[in-house]
Amino acid sequence: MNIILAVIYYNYRENLKIEVQNMVAVKRDNLSRAFDLLKVRDGDSFVITYSRFGALLDKIPPARSEVTKKILWYVLDQNGDNKVDLPDFMYLADLLNVRIVETEETENCFEKFMPRVYNCVVSQWIRTMTAHIFFRYLFDLLILVNAIVIGLDVYEAEWFFLTVFSIEIMLKIYAFGFVQFMKQAWNVFDFIIIGSAVVGTLYEVAVGASNNSRTLTLDILLVLRVLRLVKLIRNFKKFRGIINTITNLGPSILTFGGVLFAVYYVYAVIGMELYRDKITFYGGFNGTHSVETQLYCGNDKLKHSAFYATGYCKNNFNNIFSSFVVLFELMVVNQWHILTEGFVHVTSKAARLYFLLFHLSCVVIVLNIFTAFVLEAFLLEYTIDKTKLESAVETKIGEMGLKLGKHHERSAPRRKVAMAIASPSFPKCTSTPTTTCWKTAWTNRTLRGTRMFPTCQTV
C-alpha cells in the first residue's frame, strides 16, 4: 500500500505541476491582452500611465482608496519613472492578492467617557500589562491547569478559575475596547464559554444543586471549557501548521466527499441489483425467531457461517441506506472478509469480484489520492516562504513612510494601514513574517510620525 501511495503521490504532483503551468499561461495571456487595451505610446515603446492604471483599479472590486492605488502602482513601477511597461504589468494579477485596508480605529468607550481615568498612570500600567506577551503566557498556563483540575473533578477550584478567567476578559475589554476585543475569534470563543460557565454556575448555586447533582447543561459547559486547550495550539508553530492545513482543506474535503459519494452510490446500486433480499434482518439473533424462515438472516446457506454467528444480518443491500453502511465498513476494512464470505455463501464465489473492485476503487485509488492531496498541503504549509512580490510591497510601503510590523491591540493611534499578503491556494497566518504566504501587518500613522506594532493580532 505504501508503494501504491508513493506512485499516486508522484503522479498527483506531476499533474498538479501541469495544471499550475496551464493556469500561469492563461494568466499571462490575459494580462498581455489587458496591456494591449490599456497601453499608450511612449517614444518607441508602449506603457501604461497612472491615470489608466487607476481607472482599471476602479473597475476591479473591491473599491480602493487613492493611497492603496499608489502603493500598488509604486510596486509595479520598479524604475520609478511613473509608467509601467509590459514586464512590470505581468505582476498585476499577483499584486491584486495584496489587501491594503485603511480604517479609522474606533475610540475605546472607556477612553471616551473616562479619559482622565483611562489615561492615568495606573490605567496605563494595567493596559501595558494586559498587552504584554507574558500576560498571555500566564493565562495559557492557567488554561492547562484548569483542564487538569476539571479532569480531577475538583469542584472547589471551579470558582477560582471562573473568577480568574472572568478578570482576564474584563481586563482585555478595558485595555483594547470591546469592539477590538471581539474582532478576535479566540476572544469571542472565550467570551461565550466563560460567560456561559459563569451563568451556569450562578444558576447552579441559585437552585441549590449539590456537587453530585450537576445538571446536564453544566456538564456540557465544563466540557466546552476544556476546549480552551485548543487555544494553546496557536503558540506552537508545528501545531499551528496542522490546524491551518486542516482549515485550508475544508473546501477540498467537500469536493472529495462528492467524489466518494458518487463511488458509494454506483456500487450501492450495483450491490442492490446483485444482492437484494439475499440477506434479511428480522430483529432476532441465534435462533430466537418463532418463524423458521426468519432464521439465519432469512437464508439457510448462512446457517454455519461466521457472518450469521457474528450478527451481521443488518449488513445487507436491501436498500440504499443499508448499502451505504456495508460500503463504509468495507472502506474502513472492518471485518471485510466476513462480509465478503457472507455474500459468497448466498450467491457464488464470483461475489468476491464485486468486493475486490470496490476495495481497489475506493480504498486503493480514491483514498490514496486524498492522502496525496493532504501530504501536498502539509508540505506547502511547512515549506512555503515569503515571495519576492511580498518583499517588494513591504519595501514600497516602507518608502512611503508606512513601516511594517506586528500589531498588538494596545492603545494605538486612531489611523492605521493594514496590509495582508494573500495566497489563494494555501492561505495562512503565523507570527513569523519571514515564512508566511498569508500575513497581516498593521502600521499605525500619526501626524508626528510612524509607530510600529507586531504582526498577526494576538490578544
As a whole number of Å, the CA-based R_g of the chain is 31
Report pLDDT for 426: 32
**Same-domain check for residues 18 and 86:** yes
Domain presence at residue 448: no
**Same-domain check for residues 343 and 361:** yes
DSSP code for 106: P
**Same-domain check for residues 230 and 264:** no
In whole angstroms, give the CA distance from residue 98 to residue 311.
Answer: 60
Residue with cell 463504509: 328
**Same-domain check for residues 346 and 403:** no
**Same-domain check for residues 141 and 76:** no
**Same-domain check for residues 259 and 378:** yes
DSSP of 301-368: GGTT-HHHHTT-TT--SSSHHHHHHHHHHHHTTSSHHHHHHHHHHHS-TTHHHHHHHHIIIIIIIIHH
* Percent share of the chain, pLDDT over 90: 24
Report pLDDT for 72: 86
For residue 154, give Cα distances in angstroms to 161, 195, 203, 208, 364: 11, 20, 19, 18, 49
**Same-domain check for residues 137 and 32:** no
**Same-domain check for residues 73 and 117:** no
At residue 7, does pLDDT exceed 60?
A: yes
Residues 6+ apart with CB under 8 A from 65: 102
What is the biggest distance separating any 2 CA atoms in the chain, rounded to whole angstroms?
100
Name the residue with higher pLDDT: 162 or 127.
127
**Same-domain check for residues 156 and 213:** yes
How does pLDDT run across 75-112, given as a tens digit for each residue?
888 788 889 999 989 988 888 877 666 555 566 778 88
- Tally of domains within the chain: 4
366, 260 in Cβ contact below 8 A? Answer: yes
Range of the domain at 204: 109-235
Dihedral in degrees, nearest 10, Cα atoms 189, 193, 194, 199: 140
Determine the average pLDDT of the residues in 251-271. 92
Domain presence at residue 167: yes
Q: For residue 88, give the CATH number of its domain.
A: 1.10.238.10
Report pLDDT for 286: 52
Nearest to 438 by CA among 90, 74, 98, 92: 98
Domain presence at residue 89: yes
Domain presence at residue 436: no
Domain presence at residue 295: yes
**Same-domain check for residues 161 and 76:** no
Q: For residue 134, give the CATH number of its domain.
A: 1.20.120.350
In the β-sheet with 98-104, what is the strand arrangement from edge to edge? 98-104, 415-421, 439-446, 449-452
At residue 366, does pLDDT exceed 80?
A: yes
Domain presence at residue 276: yes
